[in-house]
Amino acid sequence: MPIEFFAKVSVFCFLASYLVALGVDAARLLKRLPVARWIGLAFGVAGFAAQTGYLLIRGRQENLPPLLSSPHDWLLVLAWIVVLLYLFLTAVDRELAVGLFLLPIVLLFVGASYLVSKQPNPLIAGNLGLVKLHASLLVVGIAGVVVGVTLSLMYVVQHRRLKQHHASQPGVLLPSLARLARWNWWAVVVSVPVLTLGLGSGVALGLTSKEAGAVLSFSDPIVLGHGVVWVAMMSLFVWLLTTRRSTGKQVAALTLWAGGFLLVILVGLQVLSLTSFHSGAKTSLRTRDCKLKIESTGSQHARLCGSVCKLQSTPCRLDLEERHA
């Protein structure tokens, strides 16, 4: 299938698909319909295909991998990973009610992507390799936290059911508490070091960018927010590794708090923080740096600088078309 097939796909297309898939999964709570699982899965797959095409088109337009092209695309990549996980789990276990837990998070990410910038971040020009590492580690780490939050949520629901003696719903079963607790432990223990590496690479990126003349501040709200979240996640990580008599419910509650905090900070700051250098082209990068960037990175970043200058309503000192002709 040619990629141009997806040229007209909008965010709304796959947002609507996921919404329907969630609705169908929720309907299984009311009545057991074997066909509902397949309908939900079909909408999930359709949304996933549309989202994949959309991200590929976006990457081609920006001439950058979707992970790096903008905060909008970065959030969609994160959602894409979670959808992939949802599809895999739904396909392998017909009784597992994973969509009810994962799809709301997908909708949160896709919905938030509407509100963040679609403009590429000019800072990626400085050190593309390190930026890739930074973004990849953060995405993987955050996906791990999403998994931890989902498992914790499942734990809480399953625990509540067992304590209140409710019969399990046929067709929407949850794993045992023992398995959920074990998986949750691993999700936190794996994702926190990855997040740490992601933040570390971000710090390194900041330092190298400063050397290159870009004005980056560690007091940037997103950097600060992620720092606070990292402290929370690291505290949970240390507690998990050092506490011997923790109960599954304690782990689930703490993961929910820390992971939920991370998701709120992640999405909230991306949406609200208009002056952060993480928020795409609406950056604090000054126009006088345009020349340096363009000279050092070639044509794709010439376009980036052009976007920056346009957004900031300041005339660029360079004649871009002329330089890259």
Partner 1 sequence: MNLQVVYCNHQSANLSIRERLAFAGDKLEAAYRELASRFRSSEFVVLSTCNRVEVYSAQESPDAAPTRKQIAEFVSEFHHLPLEDFSDELLAETGPDAVRHLFRVASSLDSMVLGEPQIVNQVKEAYRVAQDHNACGPLTHAMFQGAIRVSARVRSETRLAEGRVSIASVAVSDFGRGIFDRFDDKHVLILGAGEMAEETLRYLCEEGVRQVTVVNRSLANAEKLAAQFTSVGARPRSWDALDEELALADMIVSTTGATEPIVDVNRFREVRRRSGEKPVFILDLGAPRDFAPAIANLDDNVFLYDIDALEATCEQNRKSRYREIEKAQLIIDEEAERFMQDVYHMATGPIVKRLREQWHDVSRDELARLRLKLSHLSATDLESVERAVERIVNKLLHPPLEALRHEAKEGTPHGLIDALKRLFHLRD
Interacting residues with partner 1 (CB under 8 A): 158-159, 161-163, 165-168, 170, 174-179, 245, 247-249
**Neighbour tally for 33: CB within 10 Å:** 13
- Closest separation in Å from C-beta 156 to partner 1: 11
- Closest separation in Å from C-beta 38 to partner 1: 21
Q: How far apart are CA 299 and CA 317, in angstroms?
A: 16
CA distances from 216 to 175, 179, 275, 296 (A): 46, 44, 11, 18
- Closest separation in Å from C-beta 66 to partner 1: 38
Residue 94 corresponds to which tokens in the numbers above? 């017909």
Q: Output 167 or 325, the one with its CB closest to partner 1.
A: 167
Q: How far apart are CA 229 and CA 269, in angstroms?
A: 12
CA distances from 51 to 10, 66, 75, 194, 277 (A): 8, 11, 12, 25, 26
- Closest separation in Å from C-beta 24 to partner 1: 22
Spatial contact of 278 and 123, defined as CB atoms under 8 Å apart = no
Unique residue bearing structure tokens 């067992």: 162
Q: How far apart are CA 13 and CA 244, in angstroms?
A: 47
Q: Output 97 or 112, the one with its CB closest to partner 1.
A: 97
Residue 156 corresponds to which tokens in the numbers above? 């809480």
Q: Output 29 or 162, the one with its CB closest to partner 1.
A: 162
Q: Output 159 or 301, the one with its CB closest to partner 1.
A: 159
- Closest separation in Å from C-beta 32 to partner 1: 9
Q: Output 252 or 258, the one with its CB closest to partner 1.
A: 252
CA atoms within 13 A on the CB side of 95: 7
Q: Output 164 or 219, the one with its CB closest to partner 1.
A: 164
- Closest separation in Å from C-beta 283 to partner 1: 48
User: HEC string of 88-156?
Assistant: HHHHHCCCECCHHHHHHHHHHHHHHHCCCCCCCCHHHHCCHHHHHHHHHHHHHHHHHHHHHHHHHHHHH
Spatial contact of 274 and 282, defined as CB atoms under 8 Å apart = yes
Q: Output 1 or 165, the one with its CB closest to partner 1.
A: 165
- Closest separation in Å from C-beta 93 to partner 1: 14
